[in-house]
Every structure is written in structure tokens, then in C-alpha cells.
Amino acid sequence: MCHNGGGEAFVRRGTGADAPSRRVFTRLLLAGTGLAALTACTPDPAAEPAGTPGPTPGLSPGTGSATQTATATASTSPLPASPAPATPAPTTTPTPTRPKAAPPPSAAAPGPQHSLTDPASPWVVVNKHRPLSPATFVPPDLARPAVRLATSGEAALLNSTTAAAAEKMFAAAAADGVTITLASGYRSFTTQTAIYGGYAASRGRADADTASARPGYSEHQTGWSFDIGDGGGACSFQPCFAQQPAAVWAKANAHRFGFVVRYPWMLQGITGYYYEPWHLRYIGTGAATDMFIRGIATLEQYFGVGAAPAYR
């Protein structure tokens, strides 16, 4: 039954001065029941929303009877097609693809890349998770640099590459009116054993691990690292050394000669050691300058090897 007001409109159109008599109206209504119903329920195309399908092809509103319309529709409609068989769901679960790990910042460093494990490499990373291999490694090219010394014996030695870079850096600092001294250079496995043992005996093993490296875990053993002092001798191996001219100059200029401050302020959770403004490490001018420009403070972050706050 139509509820869109079509029937009401039809009755109103039949109430004018020229309206047919009731008898004529009754015959029209009986003869054209199907047509009237079809006409009254046919939507107005102008009132349909966009996208509403139009009338079925082959059917002309206002011609024939409802019976003829139904017959024509039945004769022209195709038989319903058999439903297609359902495609079975896959029985295997696809393996998720792991995202590729981002390369470490050092991957874009200028110049050649170097080993992170070979103790003879300027990029070797030595920390509480990464011991030297072999543990008793000795640099084959130890040399005494021509710089102002505040130490003697093996502690006055560096590997040849670090020694040459140190000479240039100390000379540049002197030209700027700053005196830097070499306070502690190479340390053998035997020497590091004695130093660490002394800390452990006097302060306990846990406290010793925050102040000194265990034998086989010290950068000093590689010949790539050394400690500096100030020409005035103040605050050696103390936190106040950070305010001394040698430390201030080195922090601002060491990268130009291939060095970084290895154990920066407040990053012991990454490096495993408290702030040591006196401990410099050679990694080459390209990498050191790259770290300085990009504001990357530790080798762990730069080379992407992870933090090493404590021994495993």
C-alpha cells in the first residue's frame, strides 16, 4: 500500500468544477485499479535522491494493466544464477615481517667505516658489556708523544696514531694560551689489574666498578685513550677539573683532532662511568666532528651498540 500521499493527491484533483460524475468515477476506479495504484506509487524522479535507479527498462508507466505488467516482467527476467562456491579461507597464517632496524648514526659518518670489536681499530667500543678480545691485548705500535708529560713509564705511551693526533692538539691549545698535560696514557692488563684491585680493596667491588674498569675492560689498554691534566695542576682527576682551562678548551676543540670526551656529564646510565672531563678518546676527525656537530655525546649512541651501565 502506498503511504507517500499519492492517493490523496488523486482525490483532490477530482473535486473541481469539471469533475466526472460519481458513476463515471466508480467505473474508472474499478477498471483502472492497477493503473491507479501503479501511478500513485510511482516515485517522482525529481524528488528521488541522487543515485536512485530509474524505472525498469521495457515498462512504460500509464500503459497496460497491472496483470500485463507482471506478465511482461516475468517473461523478460532471467533465471537467478546459481551461487558461486565459497572460496575456502587460507589454512596458513602469514609470517609477519619485522621492520628493519634503523642504522646507527655512525653509518653516515664521513670517511671509511671501521671495526667496533677489533682493539686495533679507532672505532673499537670497550665498555662493561664489550671486553677486549683478547683480554691481554697490547698495541703493537706504542710510542711516546712529544707533549708535556705529567706521568712516566708505560702511562706516557699511546699508540702511534693517537700520539700524532695528541701532539697536534696540545700544540693548538698552547697556541691559544692553554697548557694541557698528558696525565695517564696506556695501561697494560697487569697494570689495570693492580689499579682495579686497589679500588676494590679500599672501597668495595661495587664502588670500584663505578670508578675503575675491570682488567680487560679498559680503554686505556687499547692505546686510543688518555687522561689530560691542566698546566696549573689544579683539580686533577676530580669533578672540578671540568672548569679548568684545559678541560674547557678540550671540550670545545678536541673533535678537530679526532678526540671526544668519552664519559660525559650525567650519562653514566649509558657509559657505565661517572663524568670524567679528563678522559679523551681518539676515533678520527671525521667521526669526532660528526658527533660534535650532531650533538651525540657517547660512543654507545653513535655506534648503536646499546647502553652498558653495569657488568653482565
Cβ neighbours, 10 Å, residue 21: 8
What secondary structure letter does DSSP report for 127?
Answer: B
Instruction: Name the band, by pLDDT with cuts 50, 70 and 90, for residue 211.
Output: confident
Given a cut of 60, whether residue 82 has pLDDT beyond it is no
Give mean pLDDT, residues 159-179.
98
Give the CA distances from residue 197 to residues 108, 193, 227, 236, 284, in Å, rounded to whole numbers and listed in that order: 40, 6, 20, 21, 32
Evaluate if pTM is beyond 0.85: no
Can you give the pLDDT at residue 90? 55
Q: Estimate the crossing angle of helix 160-175 against helix 245-253, to 10 degrees.
A: 110
Given a cut of 90, whether residue 74 has pLDDT beyond it is no
pLDDT tens digits, 98-150: 667 889 999 999 899 999 999 999 999 999 999 999 999 999 999 999 999 99
Given a cut of 90, whether residue 28 has pLDDT beyond it is no
Residues 296, 262: Cα–Cα separation, whole Å: 11
Give mean pLDDT, residues 51-63.
41
Q: Single out the residue of 3, 32, 29 nearest to residue 14, CA to CA.
A: 29
Given a cut of 90, whether residue 30 has pLDDT beyond it is no
**Greater pLDDT, 35 or 81:** 81
Can you give the pLDDT at residue 41? 41
Residues 312, 310: Cα–Cα separation, whole Å: 6
Whether 50 and 73 have beta carbons less than 8 Å apart is answered as no
Can you give the pLDDT at residue 81? 52
pLDDT tens digits, 175-184: 999 999 999 9
Q: What is the mean pLDDT of the chain?
A: 80
Domains in the chain, ordered, with CATH?
1-40 (no CATH), 110-303 (3.30.1380.10)
Can you give the pLDDT at residue 100? 77
